[in-house]
Amino acid sequence: MMLLGFVTLWVVVVAWMIGKDCARWRLFTQTPPVARHDSEAIGLTVVCSGVRSVAQIDNLLSVEYARYEVIVVVDALNDGAAFERIVRRYRMMRVGEVEGVDFPHLRTGVVWRSRTRCNRRLVLLDRPRSCAANDLTAATELARYEWVMPLRGGARLLPDAVMRLVALIGDRRAEVWLFRTRIGEAVDVVWREVVVRGGGFTRQILKTIPAQRRRWFWMPMMYHPKGWRLSVGSRVAWSAMGLLLAGLFAGVGSWVLCVMAVEWAWVMAVSAVALQMVEELFQGQKVRLFGGWGVGGKLSVKNFTIS
């Protein structure tokens, strides 16, 4: 029973946090550009290791935000086919080799930039194959902006993800060094100066950030096109299966297994409700619980200022 209570409490808290961040985002979109000029000064650099797909790079470049860039690290010697695809697709030209300044112990590599104006935000870094941490550190050396988002694998940005992130950073950037979410694909956005002080993206770099300098945000930012998860309908079906098994176990007098089946059914049902709330909130719909109480709630201008 303690498990049931814990799961219910967790879902309620997460739903409230998701609704709060979604309300903040809706207020941000309704704020005139003149009133939110400070947020436009926030810059974000996405540093990529292991990104080989042109479709994924297209997704990262689809962001309509001025202070934004994407740095992709590829080894032209060992990943020649992927390197050539990127060079041809975005008409990249060699700029030259760059020596490390913030990370002098690490060889940066050769920088390539696009000839086309629409792809000027893309930087291709050719460096010998290494671990992902060194690739991300070398890309951070080239980063022009103060916030860095490391990216590995095939994750893609959701629509308006960067603008939602900018809205949250603009609200707390004076006191936070790390923004992170675990709704959907995991995302970490770290202040560049923290990476420089720590000597790069080491395994312990994020753990050294004090708890009061971290901020969780409760909205999905990225997805994986080949990711696997149980849908809402599947979770409901598993919940019904758990109740059916509970009835069978109760009929034969196996009360321990009956309680376990009930707990399983409750967890699946609550997780289905939570997943449905996330999807509806992300689509801008308001979800109501407990007799009409709004999860999203209301947020006035005096409660949200971008500084």
Note the pLDDT tens digit of each residue in 226-256.
665 666 778 788 889 988 998 898 888 888 8
Q: Does 139 share its domain with 259?
A: no
291-300: average pLDDT:
35
Residue 97: both structure tokens together: 């080799």
Is residue 7 in a domain?
no
Q: Are 58 and 52 in contact (CB under 8 A)?
A: no
DSSP tag of 207: T
Q: Do 197 and 270 belong together in one domain?
A: no
Q: Which of 216-225, 246-255, 259-268, 293-302 shows the lowest per-residue confidence on average (mean pLDDT)?
A: 293-302
Q: How many domains does the chain fold into?
A: 2
Place of tokens 């950073």: 169
Region of poorest pLDDT, from 52-66, 125-139, 263-277, 287-301: 287-301
Q: Which of 224, 222, 232 is nearest to 277 (CA)?
A: 232
| For range 174-183, the mean pLDDT | 80
Q: E strands of the chain, at which residues?
A: 44-49, 68-74, 92-98, 109-114, 122-126, 147-152, 156-157, 178-181, 187-191, 214-216, 222-223, 288-289, 293-294
Chain centroid to CA 166: how far? 12
Q: Which residues contact 250 (CB under 8 A, 6 or more apart)?
A: 258
Task: Tell me: do 27 and 48 sit in the same domain.
Answer: yes
Pair (183, 246) in one structural domain? no
DSSP, collapsed to helix, strand or coil, labels residue 294 as: strand
Gyration radius from the chain CA atoms = 23
User: How much of the chain, in percent, has pLDDT values that exceed 90?
Assistant: 27
Give the span between the Cα atoms of 223 and 158, in whole angstroms.
7
Q: Strands of 92-98's sheet, edge to edge?
A: 92-98, 109-114, 122-126, 68-74, 44-49, 147-152, 187-191, 178-181, 214-216
The CA-CA-CA angle for residues 31, 305, 11, to 5°, reads: 90
Give me the pLDDT at residue 294, please. 35
pLDDT greater at residue 288 or residue 163: 163
233 lies in the same domain as 84:
no
Segments forming the whole domain that contains residue 243 = 229-289
Q: Give yes or no: residues 41 and 130 share one domain.
A: yes
The dihedral of CA 118, 155, 175, 284: what is its sign? Answer: positive
In a domain, 247, yes or no: yes
pLDDT by residue (tens digit) across 46-81?
Answer: 999 988 889 999 999 998 888 999 999 999 988 889
Q: Do both 66 and 184 map to the same domain?
A: yes
299 domain residue, yes or no: no
Residue 306 inside a domain? The answer is no
Q: What is Dmax (Cα atoms) for the chain?
A: 76
**Is residue 83 in a domain?**
yes
Q: Do both 41 and 104 map to the same domain?
A: yes
